[in-house]
Amino acid sequence: MRQMLRIASKDLKQRVRDRSVFIVGIVAPAMLALIFTFAFGDVLDPSGSGFEATYGFVDLDGGDASVGLGEVLAGIDEDQFSIESFENVAAAEAAIDDDELSAAFVVPEGFSESIGSGTAVLEVVGNVDAPVGAGIAVAIAEGYADAVDRVTLTVAGSLAAGADPGELDEVIAAASSVEPLGSVGAITTGVRQMDGPTYLMAGMAVFFLFFTVQFGVASLLEERRVGTWGRLLSAPVTRAQAIGAKALVSFVLGIVSMSVLMIGASIGLGADWGDPLSVAVLVILGVLAATGVMALVSAIAKTVEAAGNVQAIIAVALGMLGGTFVQISQDGGLLSRLSLITPHHWFIRGLNDLGGAGAIGDIIPSIVGIGSFAAVTGGLAVWAFARKETV
Amino acid sequence: MTNILLVEELERSFDDLLAVAGVSFFVESGETYGLLGPNGAGKTTMISMIAGLLEADRGSIRVAGQPMATTSTAAKRAIGLVPQDIAIYPDLTAKENLAFFGSLYGMRGAALNARIETVLEIVGLRDRADDRSDQYSGGMKRRLNIAVGLLHEPQLLILDEPTVGVDPQSRNAILESVEALSTDGMSVLYTTHYMEEAERLCDRVGIIDNGLLVAEGSRRDLVDGIGQNDTVHVSGTGDLRSATEALRSAEGVVQAAEAHGVITVMVDRAAGRLPSILATCGEAGVSVTALDVSEPNLEAVFLHLTGKALRDET
Ligand SMILES: Nc1ncnc2c1ncn2[C@@H]1O[C@H](COP(=O)(O)OP(=O)(O)OP(=O)(O)O)[C@@H](O)[C@H]1O
Ligand SMILES: [Mg+2]
């Protein structure tokens, strides 16, 4: 352990002296996130939550219960949601087809009266092009139905031109991914999503993380090139210690880069990452995942250059797939399924799930997703190093 | 005397190539032992196994009584390796390089600093100690390369061709430091393909060729072993190869070999054979530009044993 720390601290000294790790680990992601924020500031709406939806409300009932639902809808956060009333279902559906609405709530005739009899049916018509907004609408309705009790909820997809009936499942899936609501009053706080600049900073930080950690593990190949690797191993140092030191340096660099960026974003951009323990778990796992995959490349590559190229390709591919630049639509297609293997996807999803108010229990899928990636790549790296001949 | 290094039946192949073919030798405490052999003889492969960087296929190595293998940190503590290829951190200063490697041997504090000053003095780098090593000349890098190997006062210092590609002045400085260390009682294993270095530095020399130790002993033993033969170097232009062929069958010639434009001829006595050597070269179409006669030396031993010239541009 002591030998490992000695090698690691020597490496850190070299990396600090070199400075490029600061550019890659801190300056570049921070600059890019800021540039994107200014460039797309309107789209991202830095002042608000970044997420907006307009819902239609069709009241064919006019009874107490429907008025109650109308009040609930009127009471939700005005910055994010707006409500438009429609005379009939057809008008609401037309607005959905024109993408003016994310969803419409339809209260059928006789709704209030049927509540007592257990046959009340509340309908939500979702827009398949707005899965998140539609999902939230379903959640709102569910919350209402739970609160009022014995109301059956039906969900329909809009019959937009070219809409695949299968996409409806996606709307329902999106709905079920939203936390179950304890009461209707909790609706607004239950909507979890990072705001624009925060999302960008998280994306850039995790994207560049995969470049930053290379400065640790790839220096193993650099040592081999300058001949010091053999010299290290002729000293009373085991290979495991020397390789471990490199991985440790990757880990430290990754943690420092992520901490500086995320703490910087909370101070500078007012980003609220959420529960510190959960965030720390996500960051640590993310850094381990990055270290694992880059260590694997270093174990297999023959030269510094080859490793650098492969590492860059992997970092960019995982970053793009994982939605660090643009959110990959979770439409069940090939791309969305591929994105599930990336630690980036799970990292961002984890932060979204935390969304300021969540706790560690909300990020279990992310912990499993990133943890598996780290374990698989790290395990393969250890195996690749072990079967390789010395020096 | 105890053995600081004991190598037995050491063998190592790379795919089909038998690089070290069953070599046994020992180095006594305080002795300087030379491994003399041409390029590709297997010197570095042997050194790599002795320093615990490469697994042997067969055989055993003991350093200061400890078995050496790639995982033997105890045995590694006893050696100081100066690799053939310079192995220092270019972005660190001489002092930082030394301090780091010293720390790996558990050195620290004032003792480490004092020792760093001492080795910098030995290799003559004191005034450049705080410069990054990538700003050094080739010779200075070589000297720092040696300093790192010396730092922890190893029981056995292993130098693998430490003077390759070095200007004559630096080379002499390096040889002088090795001589001084040896005088101070350090055990040294020194590989080279320069006969002069082996003769100057080493108490005993092992001659290796094609992965085999073909002879071993003090310079005197080895030279005596080839009898009272003289060595004649013929420099010239033309078809040296066929001249060498012709010389091999000439009267009084024991061995002849050609390398780098020079034919090395071993003859029973130089005095009477020079005219016939010149004549044979002439017949083979070689115009001789220089001729010199030397006393028996290790190069002659090598020629005698292997039928090959050890020569290299010096
Ligand atoms: N890693 C390797 N893979 C394959 N072949 C190797 C390897 N290392 C050495 N060899 C071969 O083993 C033989 C001995 O090489 P070695 O480097 O030990 O020679 P050497 O005596 O040190 O030569 P030099 O004076 O040029 O340094 C050579 O034929 C070389 O090509
Ligand atoms: Mg060599």
| pLDDT at position B1 over 70 | no
Q: DSSP assignment, residue A332?
A: S
Which range scores top for mean pLDDT: A88-102, A128-142, A259-273, B143-157?
A: B143-157
Q: What was the pLDDT predicted at B12?
A: 94
Residue B293: beta bridge partners? B232
How many angstroms is it from B17 CA to the middle of ligand 1?
10
| pLDDT at position A391 over 80 | no
Q: Which of B53, B84, B159 to mutate to test the interface with A (most CBs of A within 10 A)?
A: B53
Strands B156-160 and B79-82: parallel
CA B103 to chain A, closest CA, distance in angstroms equals 7
Q: Do A227 and B86 touch (CB under 8 A)?
A: yes
Average pLDDT estimate for A69-97: 80
Co-location of A94 and A161 in the same domain: yes
CA A20 to chain B, closest CA, distance in angstroms equals 14
Query: Residue A148: which pLDDT band, with cuts at 50, 70 and 90?
Result: low
Co-location of A112 and A141 in the same domain: yes
Q: List all residues 6 or more positions away from A286 whose beta carbon is below 8 Å from its beta carbon.
A: A206, A209, A254, A258, A343, A347, A370
List the single range of A132-146, A306-320, B3-17, B240-254 with lowest mean pLDDT. Answer: A132-146
Torsion angle of C-alpha atoms A125, A131, A137, A142, degrees rounded to 10: 90
Q: Answer whether residue A320 is part of any domain.
A: yes
Tell me which chain A residues have a C-beta less than 8 angstroms from the C-beta of B54.
Answer: 389-391
| pLDDT at position A40 over 80 | no
Q: Answer whether residue A61 is part of any domain.
A: yes
Q: Which of A229, A234, A237, A391 to mutate to test the interface with B (most CBs of B within 10 A)?
A: A234
And the tokens for B260?
Answer: 């780098």
Q: Do A230 and B83 touch (CB under 8 A)?
A: yes
Which candidate, A224, A206, A221, places its Cα nearest to that of A315? A206
Strands B287-294 and B58-63: unpaired
| Interface size between A and B, measured as CB pairs under 8 A | 75
Q: Final residue of a domain: which of A147, A176, A205?
A: A176
Which candidate, A355, A31, A23, places its Cα nearest to that of A199? A355
Q: Do A232 and B104 touch (CB under 8 A)?
A: yes
Judged by its nearest atom, the ligand closest to the C-alpha of residue B45 is 1
Full domain range(s) for residue A361: 2-44+192-390
Average pLDDT estimate for B300-311: 78
Q: List all residues 6 or more positions away from B310 whose beta carbon is below 8 Å from its beta carbon.
A: B36, B37, B38, B193, B195, B259, B298, B299, B302, B303
Q: Answer whether residue A231 is part of any domain.
A: yes
Question: Residue B257: how many CA atoms within 13 Å on its side-chain side?
Answer: 17
Average pLDDT estimate for A30-59: 68
Judged by its nearest atom, the ligand closest to the C-alpha of residue B40 is 1
Co-location of A166 and A63 in the same domain: yes
**Residue pLDDT, tens place only, B81-92:** 999 889 999 999
Q: What was the pLDDT predicted at A174?
A: 47
- Cα separation values, B131 from A228, A270, B95, B97, B174, Å: 18, 45, 8, 11, 20
At A143, give phi and psi (nearest 5°).
-60, -45
B91 by DSSP, 3-state: which?
coil
Q: Final residue of a domain: which of A176, A208, A233?
A: A176
Average pLDDT estimate for B46-74: 92
Co-location of A266 and A284 in the same domain: yes
| pLDDT at position A3 over 60 | yes
Q: List all residues 6 or more positions away from A55 whose beta carbon is below 8 Å from its beta carbon.
A: A73, A81, A82, A83, A84, A101, A102, A103, A104, A105, A133, A137
And the tokens for A178?
Answer: 């939203």
Cβ contact B42:B13 at 8 Å: no
Co-location of A108 and A223 in the same domain: no
List the single range of A155-169, A292-306, A373-387, B31-45 with lowest mean pLDDT. Answer: A155-169
Co-location of A139 and A277 in the same domain: no
Q: Do A6 and B104 touch (CB under 8 A)?
A: yes
Atom number in ligand 1 closest to CA B208: 21
Co-location of A79 and A146 in the same domain: yes
And the tokens for B60?
Answer: 């055993």
C-alpha A329/C-alpha B218 separation (Å) is 79
| pLDDT at position A389 over 70 | no
Q: What was the pLDDT predicted at A27?
A: 82
Which candidate, B203, B179, B205, B183, places its Cα nearest to that of B194? B205
Tell me which chain A residues have a C-beta less than 8 angstroms from the C-beta of B76.
Answer: 234-237
| pLDDT at position B271 over 90 | no
Q: Answer whether residue A371 is part of any domain.
A: yes
Q: What was the pLDDT predicted at A113?
A: 78
B-chain residue closest to A230, CA distance: B53
Which amino acid appears at position A281 of this protein?
A: V
In total, chain A counts a number of residues equal to 391
Average pLDDT estimate for A71-95: 80
Q: What was the pLDDT predicted at B311?
A: 64
Q: What was the pLDDT predicted at A51?
A: 64
Co-location of A36 and A63 in the same domain: no
Which candidate, B47, B170, B268, places its Cα nearest to that of A230? B47
Co-location of A159 and A253 in the same domain: no
Residue A156: beta bridge partners? A125
Query: Residue A356, Cβ neighbours under 10 Å: how many?
Result: 17
Q: Which residue's alpha carbon is at the smallest distance from atom 26 of ligand 1?
A: B39
Which amino acid appears at position B165 of this protein?
A: G
Buried b (16+ CB within 10 A) or exposed e, B262-300: bbbbbbeebeebbeebeebbeebebebeebeeeebbbbb
Q: Which residue's alpha carbon is at the smallest distance from atom 16 of ligand 1?
A: B42
State the angle between helix axes of A343-354 and A304-321 in degrees (0 to 180), rounded to the nearest 10. Answer: 40
**Residue pLDDT, tens place only, B152-198:** 989 999 999 988 888 888 888 889 888 888 888 899 999 998 888 88
A104: phi > 0 → left, psi -120 to 50 → alpha, else beta; which? beta
Question: Residue A269: how many CA atoms within 13 Å on its side-chain side?
Answer: 28
Q: Answer whether residue A187 is part of any domain.
A: no
Element (H, E) at A263: helix A239-268
Q: What was the pLDDT predicted at B304?
A: 77
Q: Which of A7, A19, A219, A228 to mutate to test the interface with B (most CBs of B within 10 A)?
A: A228
CA B179 to chain A, closest CA, distance in angstroms equals 23
**Residue pLDDT, tens place only, B206-242:** 999 999 998 898 888 888 877 777 888 888 888 888 8
How many angstroms is it from B43 CA to the middle of ligand 1?
8
And the tokens for A108?
Answer: 């059928």
Q: What was the pLDDT predicted at B156?
A: 94
C-alpha A134/C-alpha A127 separation (Å) is 6
Q: Which residue's alpha carbon is at the smallest distance from atom 24 of ligand 1?
A: B39
Q: What was the pLDDT predicted at A149?
A: 58
Q: What was the pLDDT predicted at A163?
A: 40
Which amino acid appears at position A336 of this protein?
A: S
Element (H, E) at B60: strand B58-63
Q: What single string gives the DSSP state of each residue in B113-144?
A: HHHHHHHHHHHT-GGGTTSBGGGS-HHHHHHH
| pLDDT at position A288 over 90 | yes
Query: Residue A67: which pLDDT band, with cuts at 50, 70 and 90?
Result: confident
Sign (positive/negative) of CA torsion A329, A333, A338, A341?
A: positive
Co-location of A95 and A198 in the same domain: no
Q: What was the pLDDT predicted at A156?
A: 53
Q: Answer whether residue A206 is part of any domain.
A: yes
| pLDDT at position B313 over 60 | no
C-alpha A64/C-alpha A254 separation (Å) is 57
ipTM at complex level: 0.80
Q: List all residues 6 or more positions away from B277 whose beta carbon is below 8 Å from its beta carbon.
A: B232, B234, B247, B250, B253, B265, B267, B291
CA A201 to chain centre: 12
Q: Answer whether residue A36 is part of any domain.
A: yes
Ligand 1 pocket list (CB less than 6 A): B 14, 17, 19, 37, 39-45, 84, 161, 193
Query: Based on the number of CB atoms within 10 Å of its own CB, is B61 exposed (0-12), middle (13-18) or buried (19 or more)?
Result: buried
Which amino acid appears at position B135 of this protein?
A: Q
CA A299 to chain B, closest CA, distance in angstroms equals 17
Q: Final residue of a domain: which of A123, A145, A176?
A: A176
Co-location of A9 and A150 in the same domain: no
**Residue pLDDT, tens place only, A158-206:** 433 334 445 545 544 444 443 333 222 223 323 345 666 677 788 888 8
Strands B287-294 and B253-259: unpaired
pTM higher than the cut 0.90 = no
Q: Which residue's alpha carbon is at the smallest distance from atom 5 of ligand 1?
A: B14
Average pLDDT estimate for B129-142: 90
Probe residue for ligand 1, chosen from B15, B17, B84 as the CB with the greatest number of ligand atoms within 8 Å? B17
Q: Answer whether residue A183 is part of any domain.
A: no
**Residue pLDDT, tens place only, B28-58:** 998 999 999 888 889 999 999 999 999 999 9
Q: Which residue's alpha carbon is at the smallest distance from atom 31 of ligand 1?
A: B40
B-chain residue closest to A9, CA distance: B100
Query: Residue A290: which pLDDT band, with cuts at 50, 70 and 90?
Result: very high
B-chain residue closest to A225, CA distance: B87
Q: Do B55 and A389 touch (CB under 8 A)?
A: yes
Q: What was the pLDDT predicted at A154?
A: 58
Domain containing A114 — which CATH number? 3.40.190
Co-location of A26 and A65 in the same domain: no
Cβ contact B223:B300 at 8 Å: yes
Q: List all residues 6 or more positions away from A263 whose beta carbon is below 8 Å from its beta carbon.
A: none
Q: Do A390 and B55 touch (CB under 8 A)?
A: yes
How many angstroms is it from B40 CA to the middle of ligand 2?
7
| pLDDT at position B281 over 60 | yes
Probe residue for ligand 1, chosen from B43, B160, B193 as the CB with the greatest number of ligand atoms within 8 Å? B43
Q: DSSP assignment, residue A295?
A: H
Q: What was the pLDDT predicted at A116?
A: 63
Number of independent structural domains in chain A: 2
Query: Residue A103: which pLDDT band, with cuts at 50, 70 and 90?
Result: confident
